[in-house]
Amino acid sequence: MSTLEQIAPVFVEMAHSIVWASVATVDANSRPRTRILHPIWEWDGTDLFGWIATVPSPVKKRHLAVHPEVSVSYWAPSHDTCSAECLVEWYVDDETRTAVWDKFANGPAPVGYDPRIIPAWSGGPTSDEFAALRLSPYRLRVMPAAVMTKGEGVPLSWTSL
């Protein structure tokens, strides 16, 4: 088992190189639903958390109201994989939404992008169609392709539980 200090930088590096993640929520009847989203992660040497810029759809809102957790899974064609299981909080206040918008607008390639390319967000960070999800991971796993395909090394894992 790794420490957060060991795994977080490796997780962020791999996640940011892959960019797009399958993110699963669970509805009130315990049925999962996945979607492809684009998290950005921040590691300050002590805390790791992620942000997702998203449309606050009724489905996401209902799912997260009953199960405020997500599973975030990344996969690259090389077979590098990493995942995070996280507690989630909605942020719809103007200050946080603007800050998250700016994280993506000014983020490093390839995770940075202009959020205005999303048609629903043409009204900017304070529009009703833009919200931010804050991800607080409680479990991480990082498995470079060489671990799975060649048996070189071991997957890194961490849990706060």
Domains along the chain? 4-159 (2.30.110.10)
Farthest CA pair distance, the chain: 49
Torsion angle in degrees (nearest 10) through CA of 105, 19, 4, 86: 90
Confidence of residue 149 (pLDDT cuts 50, 70, 90): confident
Tokens 């967000």 sit on residue: 121
pLDDT attached to residue 76:
95
> What is the reported pTM?
0.93
Q: How many CB atoms lie within 10 A of CB 65?
A: 11
Over 80: is that where the pLDDT of 152 sits?
Answer: no
Query: For 60-118, how does the pLDDT look when each residue is reduced to its tens digit (9 = 90+)?
Result: 999 999 999 999 999 999 999 999 999 999 998 999 999 999 999 999 999 999 999 99
Cα–Cα nearest to 19, from 132, 110, 103 = 110
pLDDT attached to residue 107:
94
Cα–Cα nearest to 27, from 65, 84, 73 = 65
Mean pLDDT of 23-37: 96
| Sign of the Cα pseudo-torsion (120, 95, 14, 7, in order) | negative
pLDDT attached to residue 125:
96
Over 90: is that where the pLDDT of 161 sits?
Answer: no
Tell me which of 147 and 93 has the higher pLDDT. Answer: 93
pLDDT attached to residue 1:
81
